């Protein structure tokens, strides 16, 4: 296998490769761009016009997605997977990956769309670098642009695998992309309805990609991801990479559950209290009238929405950040 196929090993060791560019026997060019960043380019004659950005390890302790990208890269470097797509592989937060932590000083996934400019430290610099790498990658005209930012969650979930679809004024969510996600094993999609500061929102809003955060199961250390079944996603990614996806004949969503954001619960102060058990699962339903959270100055978050569910409840976030998302069922009426 070509040495550049071992991007994860290089990243874990904090090393630069001796050779920055390598060619597989099929003429696929692998180019190391910076720590945790590698571009794969098929020979021109085989290029099918798809630009695919695959990122993982934006949170350093979410290892199943990192292992998945590592397997894909090995397959490409060995010549077992023959890309027709251009691909950018990104391991988001190398320092946090080495430490097995979600982040070191601050959550990289709260530093996009301009936020890193109002901040400092290595993670703000990394968010800036990730934006630049993505922007250069997605700068070629007349090509399809697709970004999957792969994550696993802090807690268990009533719906194991789901996607979050960013929002931009004047842009409609794509039914075809949802059908693709369904085929990749996603059981639900959360349709966002306002701008956000996460990586997938940056590539969706500023770079015109179809972009998604994918949640694949519960976060566990390297080598302990048997419980995270990514086989459908892995198969679909290989098909996208090789340009042999089964044609989506209908735009049937096949039971994919849709949700929209009702409210983001923002933690304003150290007095913030979340009235949920520590082991509450994502997508747990909450009854109307339930006092979900309390904060300074008698602020109370009371459930008003029938059918409300909670995802990503986390009272430990820094003040000013999202401590959970209240979601409600949505229809497919506004898809294009
Ligand atoms: O389990 C949790 O509480 C967080 C899991 C995670 O990292 N989720 C992403 C979602 C990004 C998005 O909103 O698209 C995050 O919180 O950064
Ligand atoms: Zn994450």
> According to the 3-state scheme, what is the secondary structure of 123-174?
HHHHHHHHHHHHHHHCCCCCCEEEEEEEEEECCCECCCCEEEECCCCCCCCC
- Taking Cα atoms as reference points, which of 5, 9, 27 lies closest to residue 75? 5
Give the residue numbers annotated as catalytic, written as ranges.
215
DSSP three-state, residue 52? strand
Cβ-Cβ contacts under 8 Å for 238 (sequence gap 6 or more): 72, 75, 81
**Res. 281 pLDDT band, cuts 50 70 90:** very high
Give yes or no for residue 258 having a pLDDT over 90: yes
Question: Taking residues 244-267, what's their average pLDDT?
Answer: 90
Atom of ligand 1 nearest to the CA of 201: 14
**Does 7 have pLDDT greater than 90?**
yes
Q: What is the Cα–Cα distance from 227 to 238, expressed in whole angstroms?
A: 21
Would you say residue 143 has pLDDT above 90?
yes
Q: Please, which pLDDT band fits residue 248 given cuts at 50, 70 and 90?
A: confident
Which ligand is nearest to the Cα of residue 164, counting in written order? 1
**Residue 130 confidence class, pLDDT cut points 50, 70, 90:** very high
Cα-to-centroid distance, 103 and ligand 1 (Å): 12
Q: Choose which residue among 60, 108, 109, 189 to substitute to test ligand 1 binding: the one with the highest number of ligand atoms within 8 A of its C-beta.
A: 109
Atom of ligand 1 nearest to the CA of 164: 14
Q: Do the strands 257-266 and 284-285 form a parallel or antiparallel pair, or are they unpaired?
A: unpaired
Residue 280 DSSP SS3 = coil
Q: What confidence score (pLDDT) does residue 252 get? A: 74
Q: State the CB neighbour count (10 A cutoff) for residue 273.
A: 14
Residue 128 has pLDDT above 70, yes or no: yes
- Torsion, CA 10, CA 225, CA 190, CA 147, rounded to 10: 30
Give the mutation target among 112, 153, 158, 168 for probing the ligand 1 site: most ligand atoms within 8 A of CB. Answer: 153
| pLDDT level of residue 249 (50, 70, 90 thresholds) | low
Alpha carbon distance 144, 85 (integer Å): 10
Nearest CA to ligand 1 atom 17: 109
Residue (of 52, 58, 282, 87) closest to 177 by Cα position = 52
Dist. CA 8–CA 186, nearest whole Å: 26
DSSP state of 282: B
- Ligand 1 binding pocket (C-beta < 6 A) is 59, 109, 151, 153-155, 164, 198, 200, 213, 312, 314
Tell me which residue has tokens 């590539």. Answer: 203
Q: Is the pLDDT of residue 257 over 80?
A: yes
What percentage of residues in the chain have a pLDDT greater than 70?
A: 99
For the chain, what is the mean pLDDT? 96
**Closest ligand to 63 CA?**
2
- pLDDT at 250 exceeding the cut of 70: no
Over residues 16-69, the pLDDT tens digits come to: 999 999 999 999 999 999 999 999 999 999 999 999 999 999 999 999 999 999
pLDDT band at 247 (very low <50, low <70, confident <90, very high): confident
For residue range 295-313, list pLDDT tens digits in order. Answer: 999 999 999 999 999 999 9
Going from the Cα of 153 to the center of ligand 2, the distance in angstroms, rounded, reads 6
pLDDT digits (tens, 9 = 90+) for 80-98: 999 999 999 999 999 999 9
In the block, tokens 């044609």 appear at: 247
What's the Cα-to-Cα distance from 87 to each of 109, 137, 157, 216, rounded to whole Å? 21, 9, 30, 21
Q: How far is the CA of 189 from the centre of ligand 2 (A)?
A: 16
- Rounded Cα distance between 213 and 163, Å, is 6
Say how many Å lie between the CA of residue 206 and the centre of ligand 1: 20
Cα torsion through 112, 230, 10, 243, rounded to 10: -80
Residue to mutate (ligand 1; options 60, 200, 215; most atoms within 8 A of CB): 215
Closest-CA residue, ligand 1 atom 14, reads 213
For ligand 2, a single-atom ion, which residues have Cβ within 5 Å? 59, 62, 151
């Amino acid at each position: 296998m070509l040495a550049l196929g071992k991007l994860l090993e290089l990243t874990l060791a904090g090393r630069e490769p001796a050779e920055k560019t390598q060619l597989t026997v099929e003429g696929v060019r692998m180019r190391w761009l910076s720590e945790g960043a590698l571009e794969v380019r098929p020979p021109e004659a085989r290029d099918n016009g798809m630009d695919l950005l695959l990122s993982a390890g934006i949170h350093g302790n979410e290892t199943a997605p990192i292992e998945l990208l590592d397997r894909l890269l090995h397959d490409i470097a060995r010549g077992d997977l023959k890309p027709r797509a251009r691909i950018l592989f990104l391991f988001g937060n190398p320092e946090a990956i080495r430490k097995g932590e979600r982040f070191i000083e601050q959550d990289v996934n709260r530093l996009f769309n301009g936020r890193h400019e109002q901040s400092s430290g290595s993670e703000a610099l990394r968010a800036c670098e990730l934006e630049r790498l993505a922007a250069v990658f997605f700068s070629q005209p007349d090509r399809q642009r697709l970004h999957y930012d792969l994550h696993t969650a802090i807690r268990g979930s009533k719906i194991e695998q789901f996607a979050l679809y960013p929002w931009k004024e004047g842009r409609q969510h794509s039914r075809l992309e949802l059908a693709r996600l369904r085929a990749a094993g996603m059981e639900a999609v959360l349709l966002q309805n306002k701008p956000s500061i996460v990586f997938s929102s940056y590539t969706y809003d500023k770079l015109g990609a179809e972009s998604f955060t994918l949640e694949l199961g519960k976060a566990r250390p390297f080598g302990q991801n048997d419980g995270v079944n990514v086989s459908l996603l892995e198969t679909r990614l290989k098909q996208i990479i090789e340009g042999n996806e089964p044609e989506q004949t209908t735009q049937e969503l096949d039971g994919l559950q849709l949700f929209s954001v009702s409210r983001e619960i923002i933690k304003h102060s150290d007095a913030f209290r979340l009235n949920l058990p520590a082991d509450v699962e994502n997508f747990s339903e909450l009854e109307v009238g339930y006092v979900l959270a309390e904060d300074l100055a008698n602020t109370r978050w009371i459930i008003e929405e029938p059918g409300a569910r909670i995802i990503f409840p986390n009272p430990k976030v820094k003040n000013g950040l999202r401590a959970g998302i209240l979601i409600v069922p949505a229809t497919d009426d506004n898809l294009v």
